[in-house]
A and B are shown apart, each in its own frame.
Chain A
């Protein structure tokens, strides 16, 4: 459709739904008079404590979605096609939209996303909703809820580094809750100290950096999301598999016993890598000498080194020179 035709239909829409546009103008949402304040004069009534006034005003203002007005308007609007109508009523002033509009409307109406038309058909009455009485919209809102559930992106649960977290706990989502890892770690350490006094195990996450010789970037893992060395090694394997030359199946390692240090070493040694860690004293040690619980208490950093570089580490602290060269690598 050419821009002229679109414009004409826009005008006809505007005239037939004058009330809506008029109300919108008052509240200046469309920015038609280039004023940034949104319906400031009309909203002054909201300062009153009168609940009825608030709810009435709120009703007027929540007209946001066309077709959500009184039933009389529904027919007019629906006859013109909800998708296009919505675009024009709400975003008429975007100059660059003209070329994009048709395609974007198509996408919205018929793409794999739930189209706006679908929303409109199923949820006609937004005006009934007002600030004070949410239960009035239970019927309509429950429909929204169902559809929202379907639309939850799959990424929600799959974007996690800690894919081998214990099944009992909720699946860990990367970067959620949004607390800085610095704070998480600090609280975790502090909590651990106090919880030990109380006799409860520490429950906060414990992030440590994991680096690998030859890899372009570091990763971070939460040691508390694993319960044994096997899980840790499986997770690290997944994370760093892009950089290793050979593939080694992890099915043998996961789900085995707690003290699987040898399994871990075998796994990584098979690819000529060993897992080492820096402890609280700054010394680099081979992973696997201690029990898991002790290990997570002392581990500050992890490093996947080539087997040949790790010779001489064993259980003894590495000499400082070697440690420095590893860190600079």
Chain B
């Protein structure tokens, strides 16, 4: 079968980088399996409990980059209690004991401690890149260890983590000899920042491409930083208050003008909007604009800013018609609600979505929060943009029907899944019956992730999805009337999926137990925060409804680090 020596095959494999493709390669024959194993550089583990570090190391002894994901997605919305799991410590310990030359660690929704970060910083000589997304459990002391010990660090990217800010001097822990910084993102830190240390660090980092500052970095500091780093590509502005000091503003404008490589802008956590004009000279080069935290920028300032941004590909903001008319290259859009209680004058409605779909034909990813929606609008959107890969629509009020016809939104979403043949991720909302799930099962053949909330009538809904969507990986359902019949209908389906989350549905403890018996290769977790003991004592426990169910396939059996409120069947 192999006409080439292993080295040649390995060289060919080097060009294959996607995880799916490498997985396919490894299935071809034993020889390819072996070659692929030893040459695999990047390992992606979507559920840290599906496998353990020992097996990872046995299969891939030479990897350099590891991506780990911990808690289920709904943990973002406070549905998973604190302490559920997702600890990175055992992984780092195991990797440190082995000889693996770890260079990159990317974690999402995991619990990271200062101890873990310290161990990480001391164990891997060539460690280059640390990316933490939505993690928690550590403080700036942990960052200090990373800064002090990782001589070759290039990326320190902290996205939306909950970090205990001890207002220490972690920035000054980078040695004076350290000059290899490429990415620095500490926007999520709440406390003060040592501006002097920051400026010196930026000044001695000629390779710095991405810099995202936190709230504590004011305008004049920003001006000095940008003067030191004109090569910057991605900038997150921290605090942009209107300083009466016009000299600072002039310096900033001058510095910005020199940043001809700037392509991406974000932040503006505290911003005086009329200062945005300083950025107008570079707007025409911007391909990404994230103003989702810039609550104070609205109206005319936003419009002026966007009008300058002809090349935008990614955007997260609130001024939609302007976006539609200006940003023809737009590929990704996220519209967040400013008034989370619903209502308010600046309501986002279906009109905005239709305008965007008409004006931005290259749009493939959208996250859209709005007050109301209609089937007609969704049908129009589906016709305008058949290229959606991710379509996430959240109508703020649960069960809200089409506000013109009072019908469920089944037809609208049906049009979306029918037209968008490459749809990989979908979130539905509003008033929905089983019919929408029939459409999803019939048409959404590429769908990998589906989020359902307050939708459906009977088990049929869930069954349509489980039977129809062959590529489903993550299914998360809350507050919908699906029960044991749907859960148990096709147990083997769950082996093809990464995980299933069901909360506030009609699933009973008896049903979950039956499922766990039928499928020993699944971890069936019941998360029960309240009344820890009631589930066992009650004589009718079989019919007791389960508040939160999280099940996932695993090759390493029941996890040992589950807290008392998690019951693994």
Contact = CB atoms under 8 A, between A and B. Distances in A.
Given A38-B445, A138-B405, A145-B406, A94 B467 contact: yes
Interface of A: 27, 29, 31, 36-38, 40, 43, 46, 61-62, 64-65, 86, 90-91, 94, 96-97, 100, 103-104, 107-108, 111, 113-116, 119, 126, 129, 131-132, 134-135, 137-138, 141-142, 144-145, 147-148, 151-153, 155-156, 159, 169-170, 173-184, 186-187, 190-191, 193-194, 203-205, 207, 209, 216-220, 242, 282
A219 B506 contact: no
A148 B82 CA distance: 34
Nearest to B543: A112
Contact of B337 (A103, A104, A179): A179
Nearest to A106: B485
A174 B445 CA distance: 32
23 contacts: A36-B445, A40-B421, A61-B442, A90-B464, A96-B491, A103-B485, A107-B485, A113-B485, A119-B434, A131-B411, A148-B408, A153-B481, A156-B454, A177-B369, A181-B77, A181-B78, A182-B134, A183-B160, A186-B269, A191-B338, A207-B78, A242-B530, A242-B531
B483 interface: yes
B160 A187 contact: no
Nearest to B383: A49
Contact of A203 (B341, B483, B490): B341
B250 to A, nearest CB: 25
A260 B313 CA distance: 53
B418 A46 contact: yes
Interface stretch (B44-52, B178-186, B299-307, B393-401): B393-401
Contacts, number: 217
B169 interface: no
Contacts of A179: 77, 336-337, 340, 369
B565 A64 contact: no
A77 B211 CA distance: 65
Interface residues of B, number: 94
Residue with the greatest number of chain A CB neighbours at <10 A, chosen from B81, B160, B442: B442
Interface in B426-473: 427, 431, 433-435, 438-439, 441-443, 445, 451, 453-454, 457-460, 463-464, 467-468, 470-471
A178 to B, nearest CB: 5
A173 B342 CA distance: 13
Nearest to B167: A282
B407 A194 contact: no
B479 A156 contact: yes
A129 B489 contact: no
B45 to A, nearest CB: 22
Contacts of A90: 464, 467
A64 B564 CA distance: 45
Interface of B: 74, 76-79, 81-83, 134, 160, 162, 167, 188, 269-270, 292-296, 336-342, 369, 375-376, 379, 394, 396, 398-399, 401-402, 405-408, 411, 414-415, 418-419, 421, 427, 431, 433-435, 438-439, 441-443, 445, 451, 453-454, 457-460, 463-464, 467-468, 470-471, 478-481, 483-485, 488-492, 504-506, 529-532, 547, 563-565
A308 to B, nearest CB: 25
Given A170-B341, A180-B134, A194-B295, 18 more contacts: A40-B421, A46-B418, A96-B492, A97-B489, A104-B485, A113-B459, A141-B407, A142-B406, A148-B408, A156-B398, A173-B398, A174-B77, A176-B77, A178-B74, A179-B337, A187-B293, A190-B270, A190-B293
Given A108-B459, A148-B433, A29 B468 contact: yes
Given A113-B506, A176-B77, A177-B396, A184 B340 contact: yes
